[in-house]
Chain A
Amino acid sequence: MQVPAPFEYERATSVDEAIALLERHGDEARLIAGGQSLLPLMKLRFAEPEALVDINDLTELQRIWIADDQLHIGALVRHSELLASAVVGEHYRILHDAERVIADPVVRNRGTVGGSLCHADPAEDLSAALAAIRGDVVIKSSGGERVLPIRELQTGPFETCIGPAEIVTEIRLPIRASTGSAYTKVERRAGDYAVAAAGAVVTLDGDMISEVGLGLAAVGAPHLVAARAEDAVRGRIADDEAVDLAAQVAAEECQPPTDQRGPADYKRALAGELVKRAMRTAIARCRGQEE
């Protein structure tokens, strides 16, 4: 039987109370929302927090709304809610593409957007998709609020720059005109982590790629992005040549591990191919030539 090590359980009823509880319990306390990543880690004793602060009652963090040309997504929005949100699909198809292949519907009913980001799993799809979008994450503490680019949140595998008494409250994604996006993933079986996955967000100015975001999951890309590939095609005409170039550079710059999901060279080739497919779809969607 897998059972977590003993801990104290607290239930917060507001963001301020959650922060106060984190401060009181010190740096061995953890927030728990959906628990779909933290509880398995605790059951395996990879994580042994001394206190859990349950934030599932903070319904003010469960909203999705548009303000100031930004799509705001509360940290406690469940994966299933993100997938069901028409406004999310309207502006960022990449998020619906990614959500369809994250775990399974029952796990998605529980897991949260904020939890996925803070868990910082290098193979996690939503984090790679959000990194491609280049949004911001809002982090609160008793000292106030700070806003950080999503790409700077994760400092390494399962590591973030979030302090012990800080809480992620929402993410903010810019709504850009003339932009298309897509996410594509290869997995061994339904609901599994990616062998490799790629997301693309492409903004066109006429035929030119004026901005591009490329996210990569499970292939050892720093901050889950293919930054050199983005630089290589920004400003180019959005044709097959640009897509092939992005794929080639992305495959070169990622550092996939050899593991039970496949050897490194295979994953590298796969990452390139998936960048190609995601970019093609993103460009087609941007032009309204949706498949």
Chain B
Amino acid sequence: MQVSVKVNGEEYMREIEPRMLLVHFLRDELGLTGTHWGCDTSNCGVCVVQVDGVPVKSCTMLAAMATGHEVLTVEGLEQGGELDPIQQGFMTEHGLQCGFCTPGMMLTARWLLDNNPHPSNAEIREAISGNLCRCTGYENIVRAVRWAADHPRVSETEEMAAS
């Protein structure tokens, strides 16, 4: 079947089997290997991408279901050569060690800050409770998200000032 999916702002058309999962579509068909493929059972969250601005586990969604929708992967976080504050936060606060959970973690965190720009530590922990990290013990990940909340993009700051 033919699918047509917008990924990181670009339209992609591919001929695929209906049973192809979104994670394999992104990695194998489009070569976007920033989205990781982990437990394959919707537990670990390393495959999290945003579909229409909402984080979902791409190992538990068919690529066919993404037809007509917009997907954001870790490759699309950076804008105009500038890292997303979430990415800068993970660098500054050492929010990763092996890095396997990081793409999914960042896409979930981006969604949290889009909906709740000033989350408490408890709210951060709740938001990322579907993303497992086996290295950091989460402390530095919470700090990284906190850093991003404290350093929004200039455009976001302007929006806040305007409202």
Contact = CB atoms under 8 A, between A and B. Distances in A.
Interface of A: 1-9, 11, 32, 35-36, 39-40, 43, 52, 54, 56, 103-107, 109-110, 190-191
A103 B130 contact: yes
A224 to B, nearest CB: 23
Contacts of A40: 41-42, 60
Nearest to A51: B18
A7 B21 CA distance: 13
25 contacts: A2-B40, A3-B20, A6-B18, A11-B64, A32-B62, A35-B60, A35-B61, A35-B65, A36-B60, A39-B42, A39-B62, A40-B42, A43-B40, A43-B41, A52-B18, A54-B62, A103-B130, A104-B130, A105-B127, A105-B129, A106-B48, A106-B56, A106-B130, A109-B55, A190-B129
B112 to A, nearest CB: 9
Interface of B: 1, 17-21, 24, 40-43, 45, 48, 54-57, 60-62, 64-65, 67, 108, 126-127, 129-131
Given A9-B62, A40-B41, A110-B57, A4 B130 contact: no
Given A103-B130, A107-B42, A7 B19 contact: yes
A4 B57 contact: no
B19 A191 contact: no
A9 B56 CA distance: 20
A110 B45 CA distance: 13
Contact of A39 (B48, B54, B60): B60
Contacts of A104: 45, 129-130
A11 B129 CA distance: 32
B60 A8 contact: no
Contacts of A43: 40-41
A106 B61 contact: no
A92 to B, nearest CB: 21
Contacts of A5: 19
Contacts of B62: 9, 32, 35, 39, 52, 54
Contacts of A8: 18
Nearest to A6: B19
Contacts of B130: 103-107, 191
A4 B60 CA distance: 11
B54 A109 contact: yes
